[in-house]
Structure 1
Amino acid sequence: MLTLERKALILETLNSEGRVVAKDLSQKLDLSEDTIRRDLRELAAEGLLQRVHGGALPASKALTDLPTRRKTAVSDKTAIAKVAAAMVKNGQIVFLDGGTTAVAVARALPLELNATAVTHSPDIAVALLDHPGIEIELVGGRIYKHSNVTVGAVAMEGIAHIRADIYFMGVTGVHPEQGLTTGSREEAAIKRSISRQSAETIVLASHEKLGAVSAYDVISLDQVDGIIVERNCAREFSDAMASKGVSLIKA
């Protein structure tokens, strides 16, 4: 079998089964595991899958550039944003993560809401300028351009002195076994810090993130208070998350 054919089969298996086990595939194709692992390495380098121990899982499509993400799953994100916005009450301090779904949450907040919004995303701050009752606290630091959020020591210092009632977290991967992941080590650290400072952590998860995995762990599933997903998310995913005791909120 040619290399291109093997790689196509690997991607087809990922799409249909949600995972590739290197040992099983090598036996099926009567090839060495080293050959399969080499294919997996090359596909991972192209961003087409995420390698894990023993094989591979689907890579998150949420790792594309920001302009592309702004056009992805728009209806999902709008529905998720409405549910998230309804959770915020007057007088609360809410931390809004960076990302396109969080921007949708900011825009969905009622104009009559009186609250404090903390964010490390300039996009979020701008989206809230027309909300007269919302005080905006922008956390400083070095801009990570892929997500247009601040990271680094200055951002961590600012976050450490804030206590939020609720944190709407964005991630690039939500997987029943691998948990919550993202594509940047620094962003993962920032997200963990915000979660520690918040009474509740709610994950915003449009469909392209479900069942996907990225390189860096954020927090474990048992550390979140709920995950907002689109109403028609796959039954297999819902059942798998329920078995982990995770509360899914359908938008």
Structure 2
Amino acid sequence: MSEDAGIAEADAGRAAAAPDRDRLSKADRHQRILAQLAAAPSLRASELAVALQVSGETIRRDLLELNEQGLINRTYGGASRPFAQEASRRDRRAVMIAERETIAAAVSAMVLPKEVVMLGGGATTYHVARFLSARNRDITVITHDFAAAAALGTNPTIRVLFCAGRLQPGEGYLLGSQTIASINGYEANRAIVGATGIGVRGLYDADEEAGAVYAAMIHRAAEAILVADHSKFDQLAVSICAPWSAIDRFVTDRAPTGALAAAIREAGTDLVVADRAAGAAPLAR
């Protein structure tokens, strides 16, 4: 069925709709559309018109406005969630600091002396590096991230192994075939990785080469730990790094809900909601 035919059918289905006074305002319609997209990756305009009891022309205008605001992707026949894009590393490190430190404190408590840890690059994993350096001893950390290596290097009991590869400008980490070859030369007790976004299918990254590095770390470790704050929930990006079935623990600051929570539970991933009140005082920056 074409988009116009679907819209026409939706308009016909409005014959028994509620009176005008009972219809939603534009702001309310927009909120409903965004809420439905949070629960499903895509929506059809004809189905939205019936659900919201408005004309096809009204739905088209709503979707165009939301698309112009960057809140949805307008598609033929409907809409889909927009893909997440990474802000600059400097900008990412300036937000969600308390949440990320809470996550990092919980993860550092999981790492035991003599363990080998693979640590991916990123804003949240940088805080993990800081907490490992401050609170852990006698571990080996394999990383491709310069800032993480520098933070870990302040602890003389931590052995830091740095992967080879090509520098990703602006991010401060290495990636590419040499980085993956370096990772494949090691075994680890744990891999700790972040993500641009997480959804029902698993974890996503805006850079497919960075995602390939995280996937290699997950594959080489006995336990895979994902670290991500709640702002990453239901955010999609271009590259799927790993499905939930490959993630042993997900450490976050807030429990997910809905379809995302169900996907994590069905995969058998251990959900760890870090307790900010139980964490120690933040580290000096």
TM-score (norm 1): 0.82
Residue in structure 2 matched with residue 117 of structure 1 by the alignment: 141
CA distance in 2, matches of 1:52, 1:162: 44
Residue in structure 2 matched with residue 14 of structure 1 by the alignment: 34
- Counterpart contact for 1:238–1:248, Cα < 8 Å: no
Task: Identify if the C-alpha distance between structure 1 residues 147 and 14 changes in structure 2 by more than 3 Å, giving closer, same or farther.
Answer: farther
- Counterpart contact for 1:159–1:194, Cα < 8 Å: yes
Equivalent residue for 1:218, pick from 219, 230, 241: 241
Task: Identify if the C-alpha distance between structure 1 residues 51 and 180 changes in structure 2 by more than 3 Å, giving closer, same or farther.
Answer: farther
Mapped pair 1:74 → 2:103: no
Residue in structure 1 matched with residue 19 of structure 2 by the alignment: none
CA distance in 2, matches of 1:125, 1:91: 18
Task: Identify if the C-alpha distance between structure 1 residues 116 and 183 changes in structure 2 by more than 3 Å, giving closer, same or farther.
Answer: same
Residue in structure 2 matched with residue 128 of structure 1 by the alignment: 152
- Counterpart contact for 1:159–1:197, Cα < 8 Å: yes
Task: Identify if the C-alpha distance between structure 1 residues 162 and 221 changes in structure 2 by more than 3 Å, giving closer, same or farther.
Answer: same
CA distance in 2, matches of 1:138, 1:183: 23
Mapped pair 1:149 → 2:173: yes
Task: Identify if the C-alpha distance between structure 1 residues 245 and 68 changes in structure 2 by more than 3 Å, giving closer, same or farther.
Answer: same
Letter in 1 for 2:44: A
Residue-pair matches, total: 241
Structure with higher Rg: it is 2
CA distance in 1, matches of 2:201, 2:72: 14
Equivalent residue for 2:86, pick from 58, 63, 69: 63
Mapped pair 1:172 → 2:192: no
Residue in structure 1 matched with residue 131 of structure 2 by the alignment: 108
Gaps of 5+ in 2: 1-25, 275-285
TM-score (norm 2): 0.73
CA distance in 2, matches of 1:191, 1:218: 7
Q: Could you report, residue by residue, the CA deviation over 1:164-210 in whole angstroms, capped at 9, with x for unpaired residues?
A: 110101111111x2321110111111111111111110000111111
Q: Could you report, residue by residue, the CA deviation over 1:78-105 in whole angstroms, capped at 9, with x for unpaired residues?
A: 0000011111111111011101111111
Q: Secondary structure at the match of 2:81?
A: strand
- Counterpart contact for 2:165–2:177, Cα < 8 Å: yes
Residue in structure 2 matched with residue 182 of structure 1 by the alignment: 205
Letter in 2 for 1:22: R
